[in-house]
Structure 1
Amino acid sequence: MKLFKKILCAATLAGAMVSSAHAAKATIAMGTMSWEDLTPITYITKNLLEKAGYDVKVTEFSELGIAYAALAKGDVQIMASQINYAAQDHWNRNKSRLEKLSPVSFGLYQAIAVPDYVTIDSMTQLNDHVDQFGGKIIGIEPGSGLMRDADNAVKAYDLKYKLITGSTAGMTAALKSAVDRKEWVAVTLWDPTWMMMKYNMKFLKDPQEVFPGPQAYYWIGKKGFAAEHPEVREALAGIYVPLSAIAEINNGMNDGQTVQQASEAWIGKNADRVKRWENMKPY
């Protein structure tokens, strides 16, 4: 009788352990850049995975090359990125250790932009107004796809301008200062961004098509992630974040919300859309 009770207790304990292990969700290490287009995608997805029971840890990187290296090493497991053009060099350098999981948004455009009060509309007109622009195009961080394309544009259009390498923060400050004074300024810019609306910006036409067309965002992962976490991969495939959501979340952040608060607010206002995403998940 004592032996039977011991066996029964052992079997019950084992069953409880199996049940607990089955119920437990994995911890997902998610990387992102602290960019206004990628952070909304990241935190919307983080929120939904956490609601599904996963523990999601986000690491924000300051440089894209470092982020890709961390993903290739497995320090983070997944990351949203624009791999076709904006991050093409980094993707090509690391793709043997990575895998594309699913598209998550579409429509990113990057080029040279000017305030709408500037009376030119095309890259071909820049050389007629070198002095008004101070002979410079204000750029962002070195090594970005946008700066690579901007450098190619300077050469393709034989522009008599210096492309200034710096930071996104520096470009934003220079843009604000110029707009406040109604001065002519040319910057490397992208859409979606709050700056397009706040400063009434327009992209210069690019008849030589140096800058790529609208680009897609993908979830990418350390190679083997989809096989190891098929449920997470399926959940990611069900999520599609429109550019309007990215813009709305950034507006919330400009109003003082954290990215987590702004993402949660967007999810709350779009419950029907999110419910459709959740209906696609296999758990």
Structure 2
Amino acid sequence: MKKKSLGLLLTALLVAVLAGCSAESNDKVKLAYVAWDSEIASTNVVKEVLESKLGVNVEMLQVDAGPMWAGVADGSADAMVAAWLPGTHASYLEKYGNDIEDLGVNLNGTKVGLAVPAYMNIQSIEDLKSAETGAELDHKIIGIEPGAGIMTTTEKAIESYGLGDYTLVESSSAAMAQELQKAYNNNKPIVVTGWTPHWMFANMDLRYLEDPKNVYGGDEQIHTMVRKGLKDDMPKVYKFLDQFEWTPEDMAEVMVQIQGGKSPEEAAKAWVESNPDKVATWTAGIE
């Protein structure tokens, strides 16, 4: 009887261990992201690695920047790899930072500001005050989604540089890029809210306008943020996200493929398959 009881106990323990090992794979990881070309690229790559290498189910939640931060803070999303700091998302970090775990930088060398085609004869945001330049641009700055950090900063730039006769046009990341490409193809003047990395800098000869008042700040980084408790609930997902780090050149490869006609999923899969060594560093030590 003792042997039988011991055998049943060991069997029960084995079942419990196996259940614990497989539970994380069966759980669904919710990744929040904003519909910027850069974050579509990064989030799809993260999804591809989680699913193809770690066997984890992933749900992607496309939202605006505010709800993205709020979702991770309140636990309705598990993670994001799209926190632009220290400047662009500073207000969200101040509001939600105590309720989120920052896993650190996943990409260095980002930049935000106002961008123009290189053929335009202006160098600085100050130059936008020229009556001639204002007329050429119809006193419009083409922006992206309302509520995005770069839109808030651009509103401050309009005030700081005395550009009160300009309108910051709300649209979307995709619509802004389309307007820019259309103007570029026709050699027309245009100024847009820009950021790097972005495929538009690879496909067009653009430059940032100088920002002597430093409204947009210097170079930024993109951070990975996760909900509190993820480390205990999904340790291998947490470890992978903690180890995820790549370069602007890596991200640009994915963005250019998407802009060239591949779906985000196809581009992410192709990049992951072409970069096994880098992916291996992200999954190192995960069983």
Native 8 Å contact 1:25 1:53 kept in 2: no
Select which of 163, 169, 173 maps to 2:178. Answer: 173
| Matching residue of 2:36 | 35
Paired AA for residue 123 in structure 1: I
Q: How many residues align?
A: 280
Structure 2 gap ranges (5+)? none
Q: CA deviation at 1:230?
A: 4.0
Q: Distance in 2 between matches of 1:58 and 1:242?
A: 24
Segment drifting more, 267-276 vs 210-219: 267-276
| Matching residue of 1:138 | 142
Q: Distance in 1 between matches of 2:14 and 2:7?
A: 10
Structure 1 gap ranges (5+)? none
Matching of residue 149 in structure 1 with residue 150 in structure 2: no
Q: CA deviation at 1:59?
A: 2.2
Q: Distance in 2 between matches of 1:171 and 1:38?
A: 16
| Matching residue of 1:20 | 18
Say which SS state the counterpart of residue 220 (structure 1) adopts: strand
Matching of residue 262 in structure 1 with residue 263 in structure 2: no
| Matching residue of 2:9 | 11
Paired AA for residue 69 in structure 2: Y
| Structural RMSD (CA) | 2.2
Equivalent runs, 1:131-280 vs 2, <5 Å: 131-159=135-163, 160-279=165-284
Segment drifting more, 98-107 vs 39-48: 39-48
Q: CA deviation at 1:146?
A: 0.5
Change (3 A) 1:25 1:46: farther
Q: Distance in 2 between matches of 1:49 and 1:10?
A: 35
Paired AA for residue 72 in structure 2: L
Change (3 A) 1:77 1:249: same
Native 8 Å contact 1:102 1:236 kept in 2: no
Native 8 Å contact 2:258 2:267 kept in 1: yes
Q: Distance in 1 between matches of 2:230 and 2:123?
A: 45
Percent identical pairs in the alignment equals 25
| Matching residue of 1:74 | 75
Q: CA deviation at 1:166?
A: 2.6
Q: CA deviation at 1:161?
A: 2.1
Q: Distance in 2 between matches of 1:189 and 1:266?
A: 24
Moved over 4 A (4+): 3-6
Matching of residue 122 in structure 1 with residue 127 in structure 2: no
Q: TM-score, normalization: structure 1?
A: 0.89
Q: TM-score, normalization: structure 2?
A: 0.88
